[in-house]
Amino acid sequence: MKLARLIEHFHRQSHRQWARAGTRLGVSHSEYEYLRAIKDQETRKTDKDNHGQHLQDVVADMGVKKASASAMVVKLEERGLVQRHACQHDARAQHILLTPAGVNLLKLGESVYDQAAEQVLSEMSETGRNTLLTALQEIDDTR
Domain boundaries, the chain: 3-120
Contact assessment for residue 79 and residue 73, using Cβ atoms and an 8 Å cutoff: no
Task: Read off the pTM.
Answer: 0.80
Residues with Cβ within 8 Å of 28's Cβ and at least 6 positions away in sequence, in order, are: 22
Residues with Cβ within 8 Å of 132's Cβ and at least 6 positions away in sequence, in order, are: 121, 124
Residue 86's pLDDT is: 82
What CATH number is given for 3-120 in this structure?
1.10.10.10
What pLDDT digit, counting tens, does each position of 18-50 carry? 888 888 888 888 999 999 999 988 777 655 555
What pLDDT digit, counting tens, does each position of 94-126 carry? 888 899 999 999 999 998 888 888 888 888 899
